[in-house]
Chain A
């Protein structure tokens, strides 16, 4: 099986290299074929792995590929750990990625038009795009298949690199190259914590290998690190919080969320890839993978839960006031990532991963549907110019409806099962902050339904608001676009039924260890009697009604009485302003961090380097030498009597020293 694992990661890499280095020789179709073949191979082989590991019940694989280097006995390797968690991740990643690849053929078909005529970078941009998304898939696969922290960090940063390239893909647009720099730097802030976390792990455990670290973890539970003199901190809390800071960057948790909405500057297929299958799920995956460590620190778990809850609720609010169709979906991603994070914090790792999976399907679907709408609208993304599109694009309409229903947690759709499990898990959690988190995730349900159906009604229902020219050209997208939509709609509905094995079954047994006192899923499982009864049980709780209320409000405000939204915006102007300005997080970062860093740099340069070191010390000492020599020069008069006088004075001084001052005398 080693060769299968190796092929899974290498196939997309080879596709990427070929498409990237030989765009001219391969041509457009050659490039998309090598990329799709690569990712397709990964997907097919991931099914083989699924059969091998899950159905045939083979033991997890854990082995090295090659030794990166050895330093002081620390073996730093590239290697794979393939267990059930990895299997699930590679299936989701390669499937969604494959759909995105196929979809890209349609979406990027006319990419030349997005570049200025004079730009040579626009030449072969189609091929380059395929190279990037295949590379993206490779990076993500390396990340989830890693068996050690080194390779995890490799994948972690590689994902950041490719997202940088993709967000800034249209590099002639100022907004795109602003957004990609921002995304990379914000992610680097997370990576800063992550790297320190890895360093802490090496210090405490002396190894970077997962299996060894996990095996040692219980024995290190009471170890401490002294960060400030005299106050020992639990090593495990320090490690987990540092690692989680990394996850906050990648999975866009408050306050490191700011890069994600801007990442919409990239072409839509990569939005789907970043938001659904790769990158943002990296943080969630990582925490689930590290459950043996996080379980040992309730401080870290509480921290994770509170951050997740804040993200889930407050990012949802922002979705309410966006008019750009992609940004609405982006904020919904932020909010849903918050849900996953809350689940991790509540020790319901399986629920978090389960939501990651269902979300991957319906979020990719929603993004690609939004892209389909954008194609039809000639790259106008403003929902105020849309409306009534269901008549023109039936497949996009139906699939988008399915995606939205799944997102808001409609019973029997996939999102219902995953999200309701999370809400239940938080209700059962006893950790500090779980009360707040419970309120936040419940309110979040209402908000999610409201913004989702606000978007749905604004885009597909009501009167068409676009101009006549656009309207006359409206038509359904080509099959390369609609087929992925349909293929994604299917799991968006049905993947929820996997709740049986994945969350309440023994799928993650021994893969994601949970301490018995944290095991909220086990508590819920006691009352669980199959997917249908789960729905019945949920009807006794508030979540379903909150979702229905959200839809109802959206319907009333945007279909029945459209003026009410504007009135509300006027009535609650300060709140509205706060939301449209995204809580001023961007302005704050721009002023304090970006401006502050430039100011600091400028001050240190001009004051430290130019004035103090160069001006005072270097050139100052040069001037001093010049001054001294100019003084000394006056003595060198060239007249004999001056020198004779000097000699006599010197002789007198020496003599007097000998006579009176020398110790001998």
Chain B
């Protein structure tokens, strides 16, 4: 079993599947949906082998595959995963199944191309999480933008051109600096292996420049305040599936980057500039929390809430230095990073669910404006119940996965600085305020207008999608141990690595 190249499977299987779906669509009367679903399902099942075969006792890279690619530059096709990437890969494969299902009847315009784009994107995103070679990573990183660009540009809303250009330029601007940093490190080390970068000696100035280059790339992806304004536009214009993948996975790639690149490669620069990240994170939690409150477009509201929730991720990741400074030890740092990781996975589920909820409504009413709704629960009781549940999860209710990450990060940040915790904990109030006010205006109340009166409750397909998300949200809320155990050894190792200066 261990000989099976699982990582190559989870990368190439969906890409091949996507190409097959495209090829098959040339046939007359072809139905791309079952084929796409089959590939998504098989990929998901294969990715579960990563979990079942994962050795939680070691921080070593597992399931490694290595082959020469461009030997002149020491570039390898090198894959491998640790506890940080495995949950994210499974999140990706799981989400893709839901996205394929979500587009089942809804996408009438070029369904094969739509599904193929998602499958190919799935493979590329898995590649980002599994790549251990910087060039390979960069290829996947940039490649993944293309399907997303197409998804928003072709199946998006009326302002899609503005949104796609903004999205593309923002993210591209960030990533070119990263490329420069990667090439610089190659010139220093003669290798493109990410793990070699981890142990590469770098001076403080070099580190700071590299750190800033990475910061630009990752901060745009996360997105962190103030480089977040592409996200609401992209979400509003993207079709439901695009929003789901964007929120559930693409944002996580920024967070992943901080853990895989910034912290281990430039620990001293991180230590010098951690205040900047923490400041941006806390601004995201508080400032964006207020902004989310006044949104009138449901998707914008959830997009802003995503930014606020991702603030917890970056806050948790960068607590380590304040902790060392104030308490003389890294105690608490691991909890902070674990919290950030759990938050990433959980936010993947919850934001996906909320965007799917909006999608369900949009498919019926063709409006995302909160004001156009009211009393939806009267005509869609099952849907109403689910939406209330996800809104509660979004406001971090204990018993849902949304609580776990926020809880850990607040606990850890209190240790670092009381005020960090104080500001972060305002999400308890703000998150509840914008989530539940949304619910109050959309779900509750008497039937708002005759369009709402004609709504049909969700069908079985939609119930399966939202129900399975509700299941995992509840499962990891009641029992997060299986999720945390996977990442523990890797995070412990990371904290130990970061605590040692490279200077």
Q: Name A's B-contacting residues (CB within 8 A).
A: 66-72, 74, 116, 118-123, 153-154, 156-158, 161, 164-165, 168, 171-174, 177-178, 181, 184-185, 188-189, 191-192, 195-196, 198-200, 202-203, 225, 227, 597-598, 600-602, 604-605, 608-609, 613-614, 617-618, 622
Which of these, B291, B331, B388, B436, contacts A604 with CB under 8 Å? B291
In the complex, A171 Cα to B440 Cα: how many Å? 9
**CB of B418 closer than 8 Å to a CB of A:** yes
Whether B447 is near chain A, meaning CB under 8 Å from some CB there, is: yes
Beta-carbon contact of B440 and A181 below 8 Å: yes
Query: Which of B133-141, B196-204, B420-428 contacts the other chain?
Result: B420-428
Q: Are A203 and B414 in contact (CB under 8 A)?
A: yes
Given known contacts A120-B381, A171-B377, A177-B444, A605 and B294 CB-to-CB distance under 8 angstroms: yes
Query: Are B335 and A196 in contact, CB atoms less than 8 angstroms apart?
Result: no
The reply on B41 being an interface residue by CB < 8 A is no
CA gap between A574 and B443 in the complex, in Å: 41
- What are the residues of chain A within 8 A of B418 when measuring CB–CB? 196, 225, 227
CA distance A190 to B38 in the complex (A): 49
Most buried by A among B414, B426, B481: B414
Taking a contact as CB atoms under 8 Å apart, the answer to whether A192 and B425 are in contact is yes
State the CA gap A156–B407 with chains docked (Å): 14
B334 at the interface (CB under 8 A from A): yes
Chain A residues lying within 8 Å of B378, measured Cβ to Cβ, are 116, 118-122, 172
CB distance from B83 to the nearest CB of A (A): 13
Q: C-beta contact mask, B157-177 vs A, less than 8 Å → 1, else 0?
A: 000000000100110000000
Residues of B within 8 A of A602 (CB): 294
A72 lies within 8 A of B334 (CB): yes
Residues of B within 8 A of A172 (CB): 375, 378, 444-447
Contacts A68-B481, A72-B331, A161-B392: A601 and B292 contacting too (C-beta < 8 A)? yes
Residue B1 is within 8 A (CB to CB) of chain A in the complex: no
CB-based nearest A residue for B441: A177
B410 touches A199 (CB 8 A): yes
Could you pull out 30 A-B pairs where Cβ atoms are within 8 angstroms?
A: A70-B484, A71-B408, A72-B331, A118-B379, A121-B378, A121-B384, A122-B378, A156-B398, A158-B399, A168-B444, A171-B377, A171-B443, A172-B378, A177-B444, A177-B445, A185-B433, A188-B429, A188-B432, A192-B425, A192-B428, A196-B421, A196-B422, A202-B411, A597-B430, A600-B290, A601-B290, A601-B291, A601-B293, A605-B291, A613-B229
Which residues of B384-426 have CB atoms within 8 Å of chain A's CB atoms? 384, 388, 392, 395, 397-399, 403-404, 407-408, 410-411, 413-415, 418-419, 421-422, 425-426
* In the complex, chain A residues whose CB is within 8 Å of the CB of B425: 192, 195-196, 199
* B window 440-496: CB within 8 A of A: 440, 443-447, 453, 457, 478-481, 484-485
Q: Give the 10 A-B CB pairs with smallest separation, nearest first.
A: A199-B414, A601-B290, A601-B294, A119-B378, A601-B293, A177-B444, A172-B446, A69-B481, A171-B444, A154-B398
Nearest chain-B residue to A602 (Cβ)? Answer: B294
B275 interface contact, C-beta 8 A: no
Alpha-carbon separation in the docked complex, A378 to B229 (Å)? 54
Asked whether B437 is an interface residue with its Cβ less than 8 Å from the other chain, the reply is yes
CB distance from B234 to the nearest CB of A (A): 13
Q: Is the CB of B229 within 8 A of A200?
A: no
Which chain B positions have C-beta within 8 A of A199? 410-411, 413-415, 421, 425
Residues of A within 8 A of B170 (CB): 618
Q: Assess whether B445 is in contact with A196, with CB atoms less than 8 Å apart.
A: no
Q: Is B5 at the interface (CB under 8 A from chain A)?
A: no
Residues 357-386 (chain B) with a chain A CB within 8 angstroms = 375, 377-381, 384
Contact B229 A119 (CB under 8 A): no
- Which A residues are in CB contact (< 8 Å) with B429? 185, 188-189, 192
Bound state CA distance, A66 and B482, in angstroms? Answer: 13
> Closest Cβ of chain B: how far from A42's Cβ, in Å?
19
B122 at interface by CB-CB < 8 Å: no
Residues on the A chain within 8 Å of B379, using CB:
118, 120
Q: Is the CB–CB distance between B484 and A69 below 8 Å?
A: yes
Determine the residue in chain A with the shortest Cβ distance to B300: A605
B409 to chain A, nearest CB (A): 10
Cα-based distance from A70 to B440 in the complex (angstroms): 36
B332 adjacent to chain A (CB < 8 Å): yes
Residues of A within 8 A of B54 (CB): none
When the two chains form their complex, are residues B287 and A604 in contact, meaning their CB atoms are under 8 A apart?
Answer: yes
Chain A nearest CB from B457 CB (Å) reads 7
Distance in angstroms between the alpha carbons of A609 and B478 in the assembled complex: 37
Measured between beta carbons, the chain A residues less than 8 angstroms from B388 are: 165
Chain B residue at minimum C-beta to C-beta distance from A596 = B290
Is A116 a contact partner of B447 (Cβ separation < 8 A)?
yes
Contacts of A153 in B (CB 8 A): 398, 407
Chain A residue contacts of B453, Cβ below 8 A: 118
Q: In chain B between 33 and 66, which residues have their CB closer than 8 angstroms to a CB of chain A?
A: none
Q: Kindly state the separation between the CA atoms of A609 and B432 in the bound complex, as whole angstroms.
A: 22
B190 interface residue, CB < 8 Å from A? no
The one of A66, A74, A161, A622 in contact with B335, judged by C-beta atoms closer than 8 angstroms, is A74
With A116-B447, A181-B436 given, is the CB distance from A598 to B294 under 8 Å? yes
Residues of B close to A165: CB separation below 8 A: 388
Residues of A within 8 A of B294 (CB): 598, 601-602, 605
Residues of B within 8 A of A192 (CB): 425-426, 428-429
Interface code B338-371, partner A: CB below 8 Å = 1, 0 otherwise? 1000000000000000000000000000000000
Would you give the shortest CB distance from B414 to chain A, in whole angstroms?
A: 4
CB under 8 Å from chain A, chain B span 118-172: 166, 169-170
Residues of chain B within 8 A (CB-CB) of A156 are 398
Least CB distance, B323 to chain A, in whole angstroms: 11
Interface centre among B380, B415, B433 (most CB of A within 10 A): B433
Check if A118 sits within 8 Å of B447, measured CB to CB: yes
Contact B229 A70 (CB under 8 A): no
Inter-chain CA distance A156–B433, complex, in Å, is 18
B398 contacts which chain A residues (CB < 8 A)? 153-154, 156-158
Distance A156 CA – B396 CA, assembled complex (angstroms): 13
Task: Report whether A185 and B436 are in contact in the complex, using a CB–CB cutoff of 8 Å.
Answer: yes
A192→B414 CA distance, assembly (Å): 13
User: Which residues does chain B contribute within 8 Å of A158, judged by CB atoms?
Assistant: 397-399
The residue in chain A whose Cβ has the minimal distance to the Cβ of B492 is: A72
- Could you mark each residue 201-237 of chain B with 1 if its beta carbon is under 8 Å from any beta carbon of chain A, else 0? 0000000000000000000000000100110000000
Q: How far is the CA of A501 from the CA of B227 in the complex (A)?
A: 65
Does B481 lie within 8 Å of A198, measured CB to CB? no
Contact status B481-A70, CB under 8 Å: yes
Which residue in chain A gives the minimum CB-CB distance to B389?
A: A161
Give complex CA distance A622, B229 in Å.
14
CA distance A118 to B443 in the complex (A): 15
Least CB distance, B134 to chain A, in whole angstroms: 28
Tell me, rounded to whole Å, the shortest Cβ–Cβ distance linking A607 to chain B: 10
Name which of A67, A68, A617 has the most chain B CB atoms within 10 A of its CB. Answer: A68
Given contacts A71-B408, A177-B444, A199-B414, contact A66 B397 (CB under 8 A): no
Within the complex, the shortest CB–CB distance from B245 to chain A, in Å, comes to: 23
- Taking the nearest CB of chain B, how far is it from the CB of A627, in angstroms? 17
Per the bound structure, the CA–CA distance linking A85 and B395 in Å amounts to 32
